[in-house]
Structure 1
């Protein structure tokens, strides 16, 4: 009976901010800024040999990931806001959820890897070239993507086994595991168990790695000889930790809040923070505040201006 009910579901009804032009313009501007910033980082890291280091290698992966992360959800949200009724097909919903969870799991692992890279650079400078050698960096980045994909595949497989009764309405602006579980009329315990396990291994473990790495970094910063060096290092570490905390805390609220669903507006805000706003903030915090990146950007802009003058 469950399988029969499930095959009858061809699309889901979604929440939408239809008729609210301010939110449409806000989401559109955030998305365009995300595309511009992350594309600029990818171009700069590719074009400037001075940025061919492990830190910028990982930053380029983060930018690629953020482009995918934002593009999985925002275009569909914008399109639905222009329609009388926000909908998504059943297969489209599972596909959106798969890529969203893939990006989420990968970003957790990648943020932990980037924190370890900064720990190795600051606390183990003599061993840094060995610890972060090219082959190891490539393997580590590939492992992050694979880890996220395997985690996402498990959640998507379990979600595909759910059945839905009556009107398939999701109290959300895009497809994700929690709203699907709330809408299902079949046993959701396997999916909920997988969510809790993922929160521990995919979410909490990387977050603790980030905290441990930055704690060691801060202890090293306290031993720096000049106050100027300490202020600069504290500013950088604090900015990184704010973005990381924003991402991990909001993601944890989204996937573990027992009362989730009681306030759809709150759920929408929490989701927007970690999968819409964070991809725009990451390049600003991790890259565009960096002097090397700003220098590379000035060189590229200057070279383009020179070419236009000569042409």
Structure 2
């Protein structure tokens, strides 16, 4: 199926920092990314590398004291330059977000259907029976087998996988052209995870998507391209096929090598602090091919072929 519609997103020189006491946490460091119309871009990396912060920054859901610089351009509009009222129209209506952890994101004392209906009312302007009908339709679209009964259920009456489907339904309530899915498979067992990935794959046929995950196998199934993030930076980006068949950055090779089907070999060491990142290459303390110059010089993200980027002095 050919994907149509708008939904193009350009992230240019984006940096996001937080003040923590007397120290500065540099969560996102000069990131440049583009999600093309109708494309699913995977953003992968270990926990704490800045993936979720980047996703929240797109919709300006971070604390007002957060330090943000750069541009986030959605369909030609810089979101960082919009007023709050204009931004509210973008959230849900233009860009939908599947928030991480449905257990804490859903209101435990409001029914599933009512929570979806509220999103429908906000973004589509309908109320009453019309909002309920649309909420039931969305529950059916995301695979809830008995949507009429599901409408009146509470989150604790649903399984983790069903609540994840509810989060997806809420994100679709405004019929957005762009979807951000933040770790939608975390904590799910393999059969449920596979069903959620298949659902997102179907949804991605109709809109652009940023798929944030630490699950490389899930990203491999549904993403057109993959960007690899480490210590707040993009270290490699390219088509899914190229990146998985011929990874260029040592960190990407380590991620692929840690997959069960690739030998389950973990990357040595720990991810560095976002407060005191290593000088030079951020990955140098964990890299088995590190040279002295890697510790001294911070490599740029360079395009080595059409659409293929890597941040490594010795990628070849």
- TM class by shorter chain equals under 0.3
The TM-score, its normalising length taken from structure 2, stands at 0.26
User: Over alpha carbons, which structure has the higher Rg?
Assistant: 1
Q: Per residue, is there more strand in 1 or in 2?
A: 2
TM-score, length-normalised on structure 1? Answer: 0.26
